[in-house]
C-alpha cells in the first residue's frame, strides 16, 4: 500500500511552504500554527511570521506583547507564548535531544520535528494519519508521513471519504463505508473562549484598567502568560 500512496503523493501532494525547508525552527512554527488552525489560514500567517522573525534567536529577542499581537486571529493564543518560550530555549541551549522538553511541544509535534527537520525514523501520527491507519489496517513507514497527512486531509475524510479517488481503495477494508460525525466543539458564541478572545483584543490595543475588564478572564489570561497585571492596570504579555 505504501508504494501506491507515495506514488499518489508525488502527483497530488500539496505544495506547502514548510515542506520546502528542513529548518527546525521554521518547521516548529508551522506545526504549532497548524495545531488548531486550518492550513489555508496558516500559510499567509506562517510566511509573515518568518519574514518578521526568521530565526529562533529573532523570536527569542522579541517582546511577548509583539508575539501575541502577531498571533491574533489564529486562536488559542497560549500557543504563541509557548512558541516564544521554545525559541528562547533553542536560542540559549540549542535543540534538545528530547524535543518534548520544549515548551508547548507534545509527543506529536516532537515526532513531526524529528521526522521533517532532523530526518529521524519516526512516524508522526495526527488525526489524519490515524484515520488512514485505522481504516486501511496497514502499516506505514516514516517516509510516508506527509502523504498520509494529505490523504487524510483531502481524500480519506472523517465522515464521507472519497474512496473513488483514493490510491489505497482497492485493498482497503473500509472502502465505501460512511462514518458518524465527530463530536462538535462547543459553541463559541457566548462561551468563555469568546470572552477570552474579546478581552485579549482589548488589551492588545492598549492597556486597560482592571475595572474595565472581565476579572475571571483576566485571571485566566495572566495564568497563561498572555497578560500581566500591575496594580490596577492590565497590559499585554507576561511583563
State the catalytic residues: 31
Instruction: Yes or no: say if 150 and 39 are a contact pair by the CB < 8 Å rule.
Output: no
CB-neighbour burial class of residue 94 (10 A; exposed 0-12, middle 13-18, buried 19+): exposed
Cβ neighbors of 23 (< 8 A, separation 6 or more) are 117
Query: How many Cβ atoms are within 10 Å of 92's Cβ, its own excluded?
Result: 10
Cα end-to-end distance, the chain, whole Å: 53
Query: How many Cβ atoms are within 10 Å of 123's Cβ, its own excluded?
Result: 18
Cβ neighbors of 173 (< 8 A, separation 6 or more) are 135, 136, 137
Instruction: Yes or no: say if 53 and 62 are a contact pair by the CB < 8 Å rule.
Output: yes
Cα gap 12→44, rounded to integer Å: 21
Q: Residue 184 is placed in which grid cell?
A: 462538535
Q: Residue 117 is placed in which grid cell?
A: 527537520
Instruction: Yes or no: say if 31 and 61 are a contact pair by the CB < 8 Å rule.
Output: no
Amino acid at each position: 500500500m505504501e508504494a501506491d500512496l507515495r506514488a499518489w503523493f508525488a502527483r497530488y501532494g500539496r505544495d506547502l511552504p514548510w515542506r520546502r525547508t528542513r529548518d527546525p525552527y521554521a518547521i516548529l512554527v508551522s506545526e504549532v500554527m497548524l495545531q488548531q488552525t486550518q492550513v489555508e489560514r496558516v500559510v499567509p500567517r506562517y510566511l509573515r511570521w518568518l519574514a518578521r522573525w526568521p530565526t529562533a534567536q529573532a523570536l527569542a529577542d522579541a517582546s511577548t506583547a509583539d508575539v501575541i499581537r502577531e498571533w491574533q486571529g489564529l486562536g488559542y493564543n497560549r500557543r504563541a507564548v509557548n512558541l516564544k518560550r521554545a525559541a528562547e530555549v533553542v536560542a540559549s541551549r540549542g535543540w534538545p535531544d528530547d524535543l518534548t522538553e520544549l515548551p508547548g511541544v507534545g509527543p506529536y509535534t516532537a515526532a513531526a520535528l524529528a521526522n521533517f527537520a532532523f530526518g529521524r525514523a519516526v512516524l508522526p501520527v495526527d488525526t489524519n494519519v490515524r484515520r488512514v491507519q485505522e481504516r486501511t489496517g496497514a502499516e506505514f513507514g516514516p517516509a510516508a508521513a506527509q502523504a498520509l497527512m494529505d490523504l487524510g486531509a483531502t481524500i480519506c475524510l472523517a465522515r464521507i471519504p472519497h474512496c473513488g479517488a483514493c490510491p489505497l481503495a482497492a485493498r482497503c477494508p473500509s472502502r465505501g463505508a460512511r462514518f458518524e460525525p465527530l463530536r462538535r466543539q462547543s459553541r463559541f458564541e457566548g462561551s468563555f473562549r469568546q470572552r477570552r478572545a474579546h478581552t485579549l483584543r482589548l488589551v492588545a490595543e492598549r492597556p486597560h484598567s482592571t475595572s474595565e475588564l472581565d476579572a475571571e478572564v483576566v485571571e485566566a489570561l495572566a495564568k497563561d502568560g498572555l497578560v500581566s497585571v500591575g496594580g490596577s492596570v492590565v497590559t499585554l504579555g507576561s511583563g
